[in-house]
Structure formats: C-alpha cells, structure tokens
Structure 1
C-alpha cells in the first residue's frame, strides 16, 4: 500500500507524526519522492498537498493525507475516511478594511484573487454573484493592495496575516482540516481499513490516561461516582481480602481533581498510565 503525504507546509510534519504514533515509521533520507517504512507492505509517496487527491483518485497511491479544502478543490471522487483533527482553518472571503465592500453581494462584477478557483467559483455561482477570478499562487493577501483584485478568497487560521495586510473577513466559505482519503476502489481493502483503525485509535487516545487503583469493596460506588470512565470502570477482585482492582480511562484534563477525589473516596495504590491507542 502506498500512502501519499504532503511534502511540505503546515500538514507535512503532523502527518508524519501521526503515522509514527500509529506505528508506521518513514525511513526517508532527505524526503525522497517515494520512501520505504518499517513495514514491508507500506510505502510513502511525498507530494504537494493539492496534488494528493488526484494521485489517490488515479491510483498512484491507495490512500493519502491532505486538506479537506484540497479535496474539494480537486473535484475528484475519493472517499474521505477520517478527519484528523489538525491543520484546522477556514476558507474565507476577505476585503480591505474600511472599503465599500462590506458583504459578498458588493463583489458583483469585481475581481477576486485566490488559489482556490473551483471553491471560489462554486461559492459565488451558488449565490448568483458574477465575479472575475484572478488565480494567484501564494501571497494572495497582497492582491488588493497592488490593485489586481478587489477581494480575496484564502485560508485563514488565526486571521493575523489578513489583519497585517489590512483585510477583514466578510464571509466564511468552509471549514477545513487534514483528512485521510482513499481511492474508492480499495476502501474495503484490509490494509486501508487497518490504517484507518490505527490512525483513529491514536486520535481517540490523545489526552486520555488510564487509571489503575485498589478500592475497598464497600467504597466502590463512591469511586465510580468520581471516575465513571468512558463506558464504566473495569472491576476485578484481588487476593487482598475485601479489595477490588478498578481500571478506568479518563481525560487528563480532569486528572488534577479526580486523583484527589479518588483518594478521598477510598482508592489507594493509584497508577496513572498514558494511553497510546484507544479503539472503541
């Protein structure tokens, strides 16, 4: 199986890190075009994020990680298997602050600069607004200031770049993030589904910890009320008379107060273990 990954940009390193966490380590020297991994049946194809949907659609790679915006922009038929919870951003329409352009309807007959021709065309066509699309590649935010467009359609993460260039958002088109996509012909392939499960288990485990503790039988209900866990705790009898072993998964953001409350409820010998993967 070949996995297409972004070769640079904001999605590149998080994609590699996610694969590493799922047990797939890329053996790459200098980020070659195609790299082997620690698994004989998996290789990685490095490509531009915007090209990955096309590569997956045509079967050059069976699966790939790219932005949801890139999938929409490519307009090809691929299966979105999983949202990966990184690379989050919005595609927005932005115009110069203080200009007469206050809403998208004000762009009728005007020029809009963007790297996203299809998304932009679909958005304005859907609203019945006729605009001239000026295609640019990079530094889209300077287009209004140099006079080649009246507004832009671009990715926005924090909005800082737009503000620095004197632009403000007048409409949001879509939210995007990194996604795992697959060629529709191989969606049910064992390796494809195994990859989806592995990545999903890593995402599920983020921020979760596993608690193990000993609890007197007569204090079990008190402990369960403090830490009910995802689907209830696992309870087992131990050799020590009148004691139970209780295992539970909780979010680490609750750990500070939960551990103290567990002690107060009668739990002892509490062990906290990071969770690497979590499969529901």
Structure 2
C-alpha cells in the first residue's frame, strides 16, 4: 500500500506543534524515543524526523513527499514554491537587532556594517533589494552573542518573544518578514499520493478552522432577532430554534474567538440573554 512520507523537525517547537496537529487530525503515530522513522497506525503515512535545514532538499530530491516546516527555512533554501498551506502555529518574526546603545535610525545604517545570521541567503536577498552593502557572518547558533564578542555590529535572526535579545543587550529595530509553520509538498507526487494528501489537507483545514472559533447559543425575543442576526457572522447564517415560551427563540452560530468580547457587548446591547459559549473541535465544510 502506497504511503505518504512526511518530514517533521527532529526536535523543538516545530516538532511539538507538528505532532499536536497530526493528533488533532486523528492520525495516531507510534513515536518511540529517538526514532527517526515511524508509521501512522490508522492513516497511510510514514513520519521521518529530520533536521529542519535539511528538509527542503529532501523534498526536492523526493526522499519525502511533504513536510511541516518553518516558512523561513523554505525562503532560506530558495524553495518557497513548495509551500502548500499555512498552518497557523509557530508564528515568529525575522528581524534585525542591534545593541541597545547603538544608534539606528533606518536600515541604511547597516551600510558597511557586519551582520551575524544563520540565514545568509535571506539576509543577502534583503540587502540587495534595499541597495545596502554589508558583510555577512554566517553562524550556526547563538547568533545573539555576536555583537557582545565583537564579531558583528548587528544580527538578523528569528524572534518570537524578544526575551533572548533583551538578555543579550539587543533591541529589535526592523522586521524583514513574519512567518509561521507551513505544509510543503513535492509537486511530483503520484496520483495515489495526491489523493492521500488531499485527504490530509481536508483534515488539517477542518482543525485550523476550529482553532479560532467558538460555538455560541443564546436566547432572544423575536423582536430582537433581526438585529442580533445582523451581528452574528455564522458560517452561512445563524440557526434559529423556537422555544416553548411564546415569542422567544434560541439562536445558534459560530464566532471568531478574536472578536468574542466585542460581539458579546453588542449582543447584550441588543437584549440577548443566557449566552452560552462552547469550544469547537472540528469544522467540516
């Protein structure tokens, strides 16, 4: 039986987020300690645990079929065309940082400066685009200490909370781009593997739609229904269910968690009562 080979990061935040996503998709993976290859027990899939920086080449060489990977790595390895789907986790920034006591008014201040980074291709592309000449020092790890030991005047690295920069006396001064985990796929899949990938994407999209949504139920007088329904977005339109008490109905809908409190305030102003909010596990459309 043909199986889809998926690569995920061997360890770290992307590893944890990838396994959590597959679990939410109902895919069971027997993950023994230090295993580099394992099988899904209920889905035609093999999982390979690889170094993040090696994954784009494995995709290009067709050693693996798909991968969950940081979009920044695809950009650095000149493999952006393999991106298939944004996954909504491991959101970070790719930013320039300088010592807190350094003068920095604009990116032009990088002219003739030394920049330490683990992503030389991405940084050089940025510098070329901005017409800036600077010297790049490629470093495989601990980029943040470079200015403190006199190796560089600035760094360009992945930033999540900024706490590591702060601890090393650096301040973030310019964001080149923002990124997140993505699903990447080799375009030369067999028809059978394309069919398996379509099934997987359907599951992933169902999970992603549910992550930022809530199910809302409320009671309202019939005279307020039109105003309340105009507030609720819903997937298509709110569901309205008559109640035993005359002139009253129950209204059900789906709302975005980011808009939750603003919507609640509006609903209360339009006489909504007994509002109940429930989590959603999956949304299938």
**Would you call these one fold, judging by a TM-score over 0.5?**
yes
- Structure 1 stretch displaced more, 188-197 or 86-95: 188-197
**1:145 corresponds to which residue?**
148
1:64 aligns with 2:67: yes
- Partner SS for 2:13: coil
In structure 1, distance between residues paired with 2:153 and 2:204: 42
Out of 195, 215, 218, the residue aligned to residue 200 of structure 2 is 195
- Partner SS for 2:33: coil
Out of 123, 126, 137, the residue aligned to residue 129 of structure 2 is 126
- Partner SS for 1:155: strand
Out of 167, 171, 175, the residue aligned to residue 164 of structure 1 is 167
Matching of residues 38-187 of structure 1 within 5 Å: 38-76=41-79, 78-100=81-103, 102-186=105-189
In structure 2, distance between residues paired with 1:275 and 1:30: 32
Deviation at 1:18, TM superposition (A): 0.9
**1:206 corresponds to which residue?**
211
Deviation at 1:243, TM superposition (A): 8.4
Deviation at 1:43, TM superposition (A): 1.3
Deviations 1:64-121 (A, max 9, x none): 1111100001113643121111111111122222225544323333321110010011
Deviations 1:37-86 (A, max 9, x none): 12241111111222222222221211111111000011136431211111
Q: Could you say if the C-alpha distance between residues 216 and 99 of structure 1 is closer, same or farther in structure 2, counting changes exceeding 3 Å?
A: closer
In structure 1, distance between residues paired with 2:255 and 2:143: 44
Q: Could you say if the C-alpha distance between residues 37 and 128 of structure 1 is closer, same or farther in structure 2, counting changes exceeding 3 Å?
A: same
- Partner SS for 1:87: coil
- Partner SS for 1:50: helix
Deviations 1:188-240 (A, max 9, x none): 81111221221111111114233467888777546635645232123568999
TM-score normalised to structure 2 length: 0.82
The total of aligned residue pairs comes to: 278
Unaligned runs of 5+ in 2: none
Unaligned runs of 5+ in 1: none
Deviations 1:238-270 (A, max 9, x none): 999998775422345359948x85995578xx8
Would you say the 8 A contact 2:218–2:272 is kept in 1?
no
In structure 2, distance between residues paired with 1:255 and 1:31: 47
Would you say the 8 A contact 2:219–2:272 is kept in 1?
no
- Partner SS for 2:188: helix
Deviation at 1:171, TM superposition (A): 2.3
Q: CA RMSD in A?
A: 3.2
Would you say the 8 A contact 2:98–2:155 is kept in 1?
yes
TM-score normalised to structure 1 length: 0.84
- Partner SS for 1:201: helix
